[in-house]
Amino acid sequence: MKILIVCPKIDNAGGKILLAKGFNQYTDHECHCAVGRKQWQQFETEWLLDDPETLAFAAEADVFMYFAHDWTETPALQKFLKGKKVLYKGPSHFRGRSYTPKDYIDSGATLLSYQETARVYANQIWVPKYVPDYEFIVRNWEGELVVGQSPSSFERKGTSNLSRAMEQVPAKLRIINRRWHRDCMELKERCHIGVDGLVEGYEGMSGYEFTSMGIPTFCYLEESNRQALKAWGDGKQPFLNVKTARDLHAGLATLMSDRKRLQAIAEATRAWMIKYHNPKRVLARYEELIEATGRFRYEL
């Protein structure tokens, strides 16, 4: 099949660029990602929404995957949607969208959600986030430890809570921000402990980048999101769940004082990712959903 990933909002494009590459690397599908502008601070993009290549591929595409916006925001592509398979992952409550939720439900599109807490409607389906299989690096657990975070937003990721939690913790704090993705990953490789979001209650791409490399990672997971991950992972999930700065400080202090336990968590984290969240398994889930999606029938 030919799959076009559509993502005008560039701040959300990084994971979708990687998803397109994953489809091309691990499956027989041809997949491309079209975004709002050519360069972003973390990724070099492939196509713009109105590029001739995008429009030519859209005319032949079997599947359109929309992420975090309204398909009516891409007028050049609307004429290609009817009769195709459309999967739509939007904001938690479709805030600011042109159409009512009923229009989405009746369109024939499959509605996706990365967070169980964001499933507003019964026919929204939780899906795992795609992450490449980053290399597991054997670390020295005996020297100075590095705690890292790569926040897309200091406020939404709770960086101030992390800073408070690090007070009197014998480790180096590394905040990775405004870097090209390849440089960000090189800095993450040197961390011993990762910290993802501490505010919103769900895991992000940054967290999965840490866990894929076998780095123990703290993250605040609301209960329903934690259960969704456990269902995906046969009763287990890879994150160390904390909410407050005090909880995080206690968790960090415990791991600092027990390096063998820290190493064991690192190995278990990597093992979970290999078994449950490897690229082929995640892509197979998307293929299942594409196969089950009907034909788009909403008149735009």
pLDDT of residue 108: 84
Task: Give the pTM.
Answer: 0.91
pLDDT of residue 95: 42
Q: Which amino acid is at 178?
A: R
Cβ neighbour number for residue 295 with a 10 Å cutoff: 12
pLDDT of residue 97: 45
Domains and CATH numbers, the chain: 2-131+280-292 (3.40.50.2000), 146-277 (3.40.50.2000)
Contact 9, 71 (CB under 8 A): no
Distance CA 100, CA 96 (A): 10
Residue 283, beta-bridge partner list: none
Average pLDDT of adjacent 10-residue blocks, the chain of 300 residues: 87 80 97 79 76 96 85 82 89 47 74 76 84 85 93 91 93 91 91 95 93 96 93 96 95 94 96 97 97 83
pLDDT of residue 122: 64
pLDDT of residue 78: 87
pLDDT of residue 100: 47
Taking only the tens place, the pLDDT of each residue in 174-222 is 999 888 888 899 999 999 999 999 998 999 999 999 999 999 999 999 9
pLDDT of residue 141: 86
